[in-house]
Amino acid sequence: MLLKDNKAFFKVCFDSMQIGIIVFNLKKEIVLANTPLLAIFNYTSEEIYKNNIHVLFKSISLINEFIEGKNSNKFKSLIETFGITKEGFEIPIEMSFGKMEFEGQIYYKALISNITARKEIELKKDILNYQLEEEVRLRTIELEEVIKKLKESLNKEKDLNNLKTQFITLASHEFKTPLSAIITSSELIIKYADLNRIDKRDEHFLKVKSKIIFLNNMIDNLLTLEIIETGNITPLYTRFKFSDLVKDIINNTSPFLKKKQQIIFSNNISDYIHQDSKIIKIILKNLLFNAIKYSKKDIHIKISADAENIYFNIEDKGIGIPKNEQNFIFQRFFRAKNAVFYPGTGIGLNIVKGYLERLNGNISFESTENKGTNFYVTLPKLAIEE
């Protein structure tokens, strides 16, 4: 007997294929299923033949469309869908349809593969691709941030160099007057010492001292400007009595007072604060120097406190700030039009604001041109240490 006529041989071939094969008729009754097909859906041969084809699929529409369609004679290949196992679990499958005829009857065959393993690999691949894309995206953001910071640092360095150049140009001009005064007063001190004119000698000693303080303040501002620009402000917090610090500043700036000009200090508090005394001295000295410089009349200083803050108010009756320029007074090197004939570098208030922000304080002001200016400083009693 030839193999081609051996039904047992054909059954072995049918069952040994690596793909599931199922055959059903026009009534969608299952008439033939091989062993791989049974394994895919977890049925026995006795169980499978009791069922209609639709029990194997999540959606029967694909089969209906093929049977009822115009192209039902053609082989429909590789459709991905979901099958349903005997236990009711969904599994991803790949199948193809074909139509055939045997002994005058129409049958349909479906070739089915369980693609669960492939889908798991694809899912892992998709997850890996997503993770890689996300990693690339995050690294790109980090790189862009680094580039941005490098550009900002470069621009900041350029700005700082420009600021230094501007300041040195301005400061060199401002240095000339006090240096000339120091030289002149030094020569006169020698002269009056020889003439035994102690009163005149002491007068010029005070002038030299005041000019040295002025130059020292200007140099401090230059160094402070660089510290603020580079962001390298590291406050050194200590506990001290605020009113004592204000008195000390008033004593140090008194040599700069004009004739008949006084500093009237109103103090009703004895509060201690935990702050950087050096920075606060720079802040208050700049405000007091400005008040002395731009006014001929008395200067009023008031300090007060509540549970959380210290308040410092300094009022002068000087030239004031033009209304249309008040938005710019905290900018570096800005000088109001009515202040250009007074000595100065235009960085004092910028330094004041920068330092106050670092200490979590703030500053505001009221000013009327030709009537005077009132500055209000608020500082927390207890510094927030980082």
- What tens digit of pLDDT does each residue of 286-312 get? 999 999 999 999 999 999 999 999 999
Is 342 inside any structural domain?
Answer: yes
pLDDT tens over the chain, length 386 residues: 444 555 677 778 778 788 899 999 988 899 999 999 999 999 998 899 888 888 998 888 877 877 776 555 555 667 888 999 999 999 999 988 888 888 888 899 989 999 999 999 989 988 988 888 888 888 889 888 888 888 887 777 776 677 667 666 666 655 656 666 666 766 666 666 666 677 766 666 666 666 676 666 666 666 666 666 666 678 889 999 999 999 999 998 888 888 889 999 998 888 999 999 999 999 999 999 999 999 999 999 999 999 999 999 999 999 999 999 999 999 887 888 988 788 777 888 988 998 999 899 999 999 999 999 999 999 999 987 66
Is 386 inside any structural domain?
Answer: no
| Claim to verify: residue 246 and residue 365 sit in the same structural domain | yes
> Could you tell me if 58 and 49 are in contact, meaning their C-beta atoms sit under 8 angstroms apart?
no
| Claim to verify: residue 186 and residue 155 sit in the same structural domain | yes
Q: Token digits for 300? A: 């009023």
Dihedral angle sign, alpha carbons of residues 171, 174, 177, 182: negative
> Could you tell me if 210 and 256 are in contact, meaning their C-beta atoms sit under 8 angstroms apart?
yes
Q: Which of 271, 260, 184, 174 is nearest to 215 (CA)?
A: 174
Please tell me the predicted confidence (pLDDT) of residue 1.
Answer: 46
Helix axes 198-230, 277-293, angle to 10 degrees: 120
Q: Which of 287, 376, 370 is nearest to 322 (CA)?
A: 370
| Claim to verify: residue 145 and residue 18 sit in the same structural domain | no
Residues in the chain: 386
Q: Which amino acid is at 155?
A: N
At 165 the three-state DSSP class reads: helix
| Claim to verify: residue 55 and residue 124 sit in the same structural domain | no
| Claim to verify: residue 207 and residue 179 sit in the same structural domain | yes
| Claim to verify: residue 89 and residue 157 sit in the same structural domain | no
Is 299 inside any structural domain?
Answer: yes
Distances (CA, A) of 121 to 93, 124, 202, 285: 14, 5, 95, 72
Is 4 inside any structural domain?
Answer: no
Please tell me the predicted confidence (pLDDT) of residue 247.
Answer: 94
Please tell me the predicted confidence (pLDDT) of residue 365.
Answer: 95
| Claim to verify: residue 242 and residue 320 sit in the same structural domain | yes
H or E, element range at 163: helix 116-194
Residue 155 belongs to what domain range? 116-232
Other CB atoms within a 10 A radius of the CB of residue 257 amount to 15
CATH classification of the domain holding 68: 3.30.450.20
Domain stops at, among 68, 87, 114? 114
Is 9 inside any structural domain?
Answer: no
| Claim to verify: residue 183 and residue 133 sit in the same structural domain | yes
> Could you tell me if 92 and 82 are in contact, meaning their C-beta atoms sit under 8 angstroms apart?
yes
| Claim to verify: residue 328 and residue 349 sit in the same structural domain | yes
Distances (CA, A) of 258 to 237, 291, 299: 35, 11, 11
Is 217 inside any structural domain?
Answer: yes
Is 3 inside any structural domain?
Answer: no
Domain stops at, among 91, 114, 137? 114
| Claim to verify: residue 279 and residue 254 sit in the same structural domain | yes
Distances (CA, A) of 385 to 236, 274, 279, 377: 9, 10, 15, 20
Residue with token string 């007997």: 1
Domain stops at, among 188, 216, 232? 232
Question: Furthest-apart CA pair in the chain: how many Å?
Answer: 151
Angle, vertex CA 316, rays to CA 315 and CA 319, nearest 5: 140
Q: What tens digit of pLDDT does each residue of 139-165 get?
A: 889 888 888 888 887 777 776 677 667
| Claim to verify: residue 222 and residue 280 sit in the same structural domain | no
Is 6 inside any structural domain?
Answer: no
Q: CB-based contacts of 186: which residues, under 8 Å, 6+ apart?
A: 204, 208
Q: How many domains does the chain have?
A: 3
CA dihedral defined by 148, 152, 155, 156, rounded to 10 degrees?
-170
